[in-house]
Every structure is written in C-alpha cells, then in structure tokens.
Amino acid sequence: MRWTHCFAPALALAIALPAATATAQVTQQQTQQQQQTQDPQRPDARVDQQRTGQYEVVRADRIIGQTIRDRNDQRLGRIDDLAINTEDKKVAYAVVTRGGMWGIGGERVALAWDEVRPDHEARVVRLDEQRLQQARRIETGQTWPVNIGDGPVGTAGAAPEHRVLPMSNIIGMDVHNKQGESLGRIDDVVLNRDGSLNYAVIAHGGFLGIGDNYIAVPWDRLTLDAQRQGAVMDVTRDQLDRTERFEYRDGAWPNRVNWPFGGGDAGRDRR
C-alpha cells in the first residue's frame, strides 16, 4: 500500500513533464512564427503578404476575368478590361459587363479601381447590384472617357492622343528598341495597390510563344506608341539578353525584380 502511494505522485510527474515540455515547444514555435510573419526583412515575408491578401503588386491578367458577385453569391457580371490612363500611368477605371449570358449581350459599365481591386487571392469581387445599376455605361463605339466623371468623348478613332487604352490592347503589344530591333512582346502588366503601373513582363527570345524568357521591365522604361500599336524601349538586345529572368511558377517573382539599367522602381509598392 505504501508503495502505491509513492508510485502515484511519481507517475503523475512523469506524465506532466513531457506534456509541459511539448507545450513549451509549441508556444516557442508559435512565437517564432509570429515574429517571422511580422518581420518585413524576412526573405519570404512579401510572399506571405501576397498569400494573406496584403499584396504589394498584382498582375493585370489576374484581375481581368474576375467574377463579380453580390453578398448572396449571385453572379452580377465580370471584369472585362482595365482602362489605362497613359499620361498618369495608372488604372483610370475597370470596365465591367453586367447581364447577358455566356458572354453574349449585357451592358458595359465603368467602376473605380478601388471598387474592384483584389484584397485577397480569391478571383471574386463582391459588389452590390444597385451599385452596378448606377455605374456609368460605356456605349459600343464610344471612345473610352479619361475618367468616369467625364462626359462622352466621341466616337472610336476620334481621340488622336489615345490618353486611355484598354489593358487588353497593351498586353500582347510588340516591343522594339529605338534601333527598330524586335525585343519581344508585353506578356503581362504588374500593378501597384493604388492602380499605378509598376512594370511590364516582357516575353523575350522565344518563337511563337515557345521558349520565351520572361523579363520584368520598369514601366517608366517603356513608351507606348498607340498609333503603331507597340511599345518602344531604350535598351539593346544584348542588354536584354543579359537581364535576369524569372518564371511565373515562382510565386515570389513579382517582388524579386532586378532591373540593371536604372530608371525604374520595379518591385516597389507605390501605395
């Protein structure tokens, strides 16, 4: 009986010690994870920010095509395009199609960038149907206004300055240098949180889209030539060949841009 009384406390202590150790280890791991998440200098901190929705930059290709739904998850429309103010180098507004079926019919309206910009990875934008009904219509054949508050600008082709271009026209543009050499095409455009154009992704060196190398070029190194439906960049082919490449499958690439020729701030968030 005395042996039993002595054994019970020892058994309880033997059980408690490993449990306490395990609890301490878990607490330490949680503390380390919290410190890492809060440390902006950590190499993959920006990747975590993108995964949690606190992104620094976002691809235009990921915004165009996003579905718009209401709070009850009813589909209201989709983002068809982004209107780019070429002077401000910023998104003027998003062009949204509401109504219709299977991409046929419906009407196009303009919404402010703040209303449609993604705050997380989900490819769905939440809006109220009444807001879409109140949004400004964009008529077929009408030149896109510089901003939503402008009156009608006229008919297509009547704006020689081309102050506003659809993002869908920019993506796919051929890129040349001042010597007239072909440098590739614009494969995507990366935006800052405030809608400003951060940099362009140039597909370079491939053939018919096969074997392309992807290079991030600061947007202020490009000059759009809307008349020729192309872009001009002041760099030689040899320089571009020696520029750091990246792969889309590398989830951290939007914030790991290294442009060696100056004149840009690619990878920085201009919030």
Same domain for 146 and 84: yes
Share of the chain above pLDDT 90, in %: 21
Same domain for 153 and 90: yes
Measure the CA–CA gap between 176 and 157, rounded to whole angstroms: 24
Measure the CA–CA gap between 176 and 183, rounded to whole angstroms: 5
| Residue 7: Cβ within 10 Å count | 10
Least confident of 44-53, 138-147, 213-222: 44-53
Task: Estimate to the nearest angstrom the gap between the alpha carbon of 234 and the chain centroid.
Answer: 25
Q: Is residue 212 part of a domain?
A: yes
Q: Give tens-digit pLDDT for 65-123.
A: 988 888 888 888 899 999 999 889 999 999 999 876 665 667 899 999 988 877 655 56
Total tally of structural domains belonging to the chain: 2
Task: Estimate to the nearest angstrom the gap between the alpha carbon of 41 and the chain centroid.
Answer: 22
Residue 89 contacts residue 197 (beta carbons within 8 Å): yes
- Rg of the chain taking only CA atoms, in angstroms: 26
Same domain for 251 and 178: yes
Q: Which amino acid is at 77?
A: G
Same domain for 227 and 241: yes
Where residue 180 sits, what CATH number does that domain have?
2.30.30.240
Q: Is residue 2 part of a domain?
A: no
Same domain for 151 and 121: yes
Measure the CA–CA gap between 170 and 203, rounded to whole angstroms: 13
The more confidently predicted of residues 214 and 54 is: 214
The model's pTM: 0.68
SS3 content of the chain, % helix, strand, coil (to 5): 25, 30, 40
By residue range, what is the domain housing residue 130? 57-165
